[in-house]
Structure 1
Amino acid sequence: MIEYGINTKGAGLHVFEPVTLGFPSRDYMGKTEFTGTTIGKDAVLRSGTLIYCDVTIGDWFQTGHNVIIREKTRIGNHVSVGTGVIIEGNTRIGDNVNLQSMVYIPTNTSLGDRVFIGPNAVLTNDRYPPSGIGGLVGPVIERGAAIGANATILPGIHIGEGALVAAAAVVTRDVPAHMLAVGAPAKIQDLPSALGRKNQKNADHR
């Protein structure tokens, strides 16, 4: 394992090389005495995982292959990050979150507890790239929400608790709690009753 800075690793860590911990951000390049990665107990880090400095991760964390987690990210317990996922810096991720393969999470994003994001979903944080007008504002996804495969979430969008975003949807406005967003651009609909009950049950147990 390649290590930079001062890393804190919990008991029961399983590492499948190559793995890198504490990779320096631009502020720490050329330095040795800086806070690296802090990771809790019983983590599984698969080959190609690269975690930057100033990242704090809870217990029972696992990655697929070729995962990148950038600096100043905070991750809770029981989080699964699939193969090829990129999590940019200054992101907050709650407990029991599942990110499927190839998900992209931009800087300044917040994911609540029990969020599920399907494969190849893309969250964005720059409304007028590459101008940077308005700053970088990532989406906020509340507890128990689920995002389908290949969905795109625009900057600053708020996905309410228990809401669902359908596969391939392009979400250009906020999705209220326990509602469904479907289409491109996405339209907001009531959740089908059976789907709503199932989603609530899954959110309570994920």
Structure 2
Amino acid sequence: MYISQSAKIGSNVTLGHNVVIEDNVVIGDNVTIGHNVVIRKDTIISEGCVIGDNTVLGKEPFKASISATTEKKELAPLVLGKYVTIGASCVIYRGAILKDHVFVGDLASIREDVTIGEYTVIGRGVTVENKTTIGKYVKIETEAYITALSTIEDYCFIAPEVTFTNDNFLGRTEERKKYFKGPTIRKGARIGANATILPGIEIGEDALIGAGAVVTRNVPARKIYVGIPAKELKDVPTEQLLENQVYYKG
């Protein structure tokens, strides 16, 4: 185990075997940290958090020579809010902010310049790329891929294996860099398993995308779209609207 002398550790903190805590890390009270966890410099972990085995917190991003969305810059520390749970073998980058009560499943990756709102669930094996904003009470299920420069508003549901994209030029021409943009998913929208959302697409509030759909154009609010390419099927049933759900807090 290695704990930097400049680290600040609260009361009733449980540390597993082989934990590494670097310079200027701050850990609040009643935190539980599993075995083989690495906490990089300056990371802030608020009270009541649980960190699973073999996880890395506050990782600096590596920049590939051909990367178009990763910048070389000074990043703010990783911040975990109160009562955040991080599963085993996750990598959470420096420059991310996870607000109170966020839950992250095993094997997930969350990049720099990402903000995740309260009570959101990031499922097992999910990847959230850089410069992405995710609201509160969102659920993103197993192995979904959230590309860089995406926005997901509050109360959205993203099913397993959903894929977001942000490059209509598929890596060709320098011109493409002017147009990078991930999807924007408005409040309460839902996306079915294995759907693919093309770059820059906006899914309207409370809209529903069927499983396996390929969304090539903007989707209006409260509409159901299905197929390849996705086309309008019908309105979202009234009883399914977010405003009619018992868990909705407004």
Amino acid at match of 1:135: Y
2:110 corresponds in structure 1 to 69
What does 1:19-58 align with in structure 2 at a 5 Å threshold? Answer: 19-26=55-62, 35-58=76-99
C-alpha RMSD of matched pairs (Å): 1.8
Task: For structure 1, list consecutive stretches of 5 or more residues without a partner in the other structure.
Answer: 28-32
1:198 corresponds in structure 2 to 240
2:208 corresponds in structure 1 to 164
Check whether the contact 2:145–2:164 (CA below 8 A) recurs between aligned residues: yes
Question: Distance in 1 between the 2:61 and 2:76 partners?
Answer: 11
Amino acid at match of 1:173: R
Which secondary structure state, in structure 1, belongs to the residue aligned with residue 239 of structure 2?
A: helix
User: Greater relative contact order (Cα 8 A, min sep 6): structure 1 or 2?
Assistant: 1
Match of 1:2 among 38, 44, 48: 38
1:30 corresponds in structure 2 to none
Post-superposition shift, 1:7? 0.8
Which secondary structure state, in structure 2, belongs to the residue aligned with residue 189 of structure 1?
A: strand
| 1:136 aligned onto 2:180 | yes
The verdict on how the C-alpha distance between 1:12 and 1:158 changes in structure 2, with shifts beyond 3 A counting, is same
Post-superposition shift, 1:199? 3.2
Question: Distance in 1 between the 2:100 and 2:120 partners?
Answer: 8
The verdict on how the C-alpha distance between 1:49 and 1:203 changes in structure 2, with shifts beyond 3 A counting, is farther
Task: For structure 2, list consecutive stretches of 5 or more residues without a partner in the other structure.
Answer: 1-36, 64-73
Post-superposition shift, 1:198? 1.6
Post-superposition shift, 1:15? 1.4
Question: Distance in 2 between the 1:174 and 1:203 partners?
Answer: 29
> What TM-score, normalized by structure 2, do the two folds share?
0.76
Question: Distance in 2 between the 1:157 and 1:189 partners?
Answer: 18
Question: Distance in 2 between the 1:63 and 1:3 partners?
Answer: 16
Which string of whole-angstrom CA distances, capped at 9 and with x for unpartnered residues, describes residues 139-184 of structure 1? Answer: 0000000000000000000000000000001000000000111001
Which secondary structure state, in structure 2, belongs to the residue aligned with residue 197 of structure 1?
A: helix
> How many residue pairs are counted as aligned between the two chains?
199
Check whether the contact 1:25–1:52 (CA below 8 A) recurs between aligned residues: yes
Match of 2:223 among 179, 190, 193: 179
Post-superposition shift, 1:203? 8.8
1:106 corresponds in structure 2 to 147
Post-superposition shift, 1:16? 1.5
Which structure is larger by alpha-carbon Rg, 1 or 2? 2
Percent identical pairs in the alignment equals: 34
> What TM-score, normalized by structure 1, do the two folds share?
0.91
1:116 corresponds in structure 2 to 157
Match of 1:97 among 133, 138, 163: 138
Check whether the contact 1:7–1:35 (CA below 8 A) recurs between aligned residues: no
Hey, which bits of structure 1, 4+ residues long, moved more than 4 A?
none
Question: Distance in 1 between the 2:246 and 2:222 partners?
Answer: 11
Post-superposition shift, 1:25? 1.9
Check whether the contact 1:21–1:36 (CA below 8 A) recurs between aligned residues: no
The verdict on how the C-alpha distance between 1:169 and 1:202 changes in structure 2, with shifts beyond 3 A counting, is farther
The verdict on how the C-alpha distance between 1:203 and 1:147 changes in structure 2, with shifts beyond 3 A counting, is farther
Question: Distance in 2 between the 1:26 and 1:119 partners?
Answer: 27
Post-superposition shift, 1:191? 1.8
Which string of whole-angstrom CA distances, capped at 9 and with x for unpartnered residues, describes residues 89-141 of structure 1? Answer: 00000110100000000110000000100000001001110116243210000
